[in-house]
Amino acid sequence: MNIKWSLLVIFFVIVTVLTGCDPLMVLDPKGPQAQTQANVIWLSIAVMSVITIIVCAFLVFVLVKYRDSKLPKDYEPPYIEGNHLVESIIVGVPILIVLFFSVVTIITNNKVEATPEKYKGQDPLVIYASSSDWKWHFSYPENDIETVNYLYVPTNRPLEFKLYSFGPITSFWVPQLGGQKYAMADMVTTLHLAADEEGEMMGRNANFSGKGFAENMFHVEAMSQAEFDDWVKEVKDTAEPLTEAKFNELLQPGYTGQLTFTGTHLSFSPAPEHHHGSKDSNEDVNDEYMEHDHGSSNESAHNYE
């Protein structure tokens, strides 16, 4: 009786706690890439649930039908060498499951690695997202501004992030917009995202990168294009210019709050020239920051360990 009441209490505690939780961010998508990934997660849950129910049903059936109490005391099972049908099922079904998820993974991976279908043909907003210990720097070459530890983006426009690091390998991740992608010191990786809905979101470094990893997060806000343009104008009217000395100071290990500057560090500390990932015509937007005439500034990329 005590066991029954204990299980009942545990059940109600779990239900109470879960009903008070916010929805998982990966299952609350705000963009097409995140929606695709959420669909795959739900599909995986559904398939695994069906498999679990079938296996449990067969287990109950076998335990009931072939239980020892139904057989005489002197019963001896006949010698058998195997059942080809059963062996085919237990080998073939897992193979089919793996093949199914392999096809789903390939199709969806190609979708999330490209510009969202609904936004193809539009010029993306290119943002250079670079990390340092333990901060995120967001450079907007199109607008000639830079932010630290926060990211404002317009809705209903493709976003193209150029990711790299001034220190150890990190991982750029905004769960409600799409999956994570690594940022490395000597190359640029490209991540295509978009926001369909306005609102605030959380972004973070999803790769362990030292003692400051837990605080290596950034605020994300999606807004209409008009609001985004107003914000850019306000930044240009009020923010201080980003100097090389100030940027070098920010690269030092440590924490800082949200900062805003006019200009970007790309003019004196350009991104690595080696690009990995999809390439398209919009990469020439930032070619001025990729020229060799920046000299040794590109080599002194402040690769702090």
**Structure-block tokens of residue 300:** 């002194």
Cα four-point dihedral sign 235, 241, 247, 249? negative
Highest mean pLDDT among 208-217, 254-263, 292-301: 254-263
Question: What torsion do the CA atoms of 243, 244, 249, 254 make, to the nearest 10 degrees?
Answer: 90
Judge whether 164 and 277 are in contact, CB under 8 Å.
no
Range scoring the smallest mean pLDDT among 4-8, 111-115, 224-228, 249-253 = 4-8
Higher pLDDT, 145 or 14: 145
Mean pLDDT of 214-225: 93
Q: Is the bond preceding residue 134 a cis peptide, omega within 30 degrees? A: yes
**Structure-block tokens of residue 208:** 């362990």
pLDDT band at 293 (very low <50, low <70, confident <90, very high): very low
pLDDT at 8 (0 to 100):
65
Task: Report helix, strand or coil for 71.
Answer: coil
**Structure-block tokens of residue 274:** 């080696």
Judge whether 286 and 164 are in contact, CB under 8 Å.
no
Rg (CA), the chain: 27
What are φ and ψ of residue 242, in 5° steps?
-85, 120
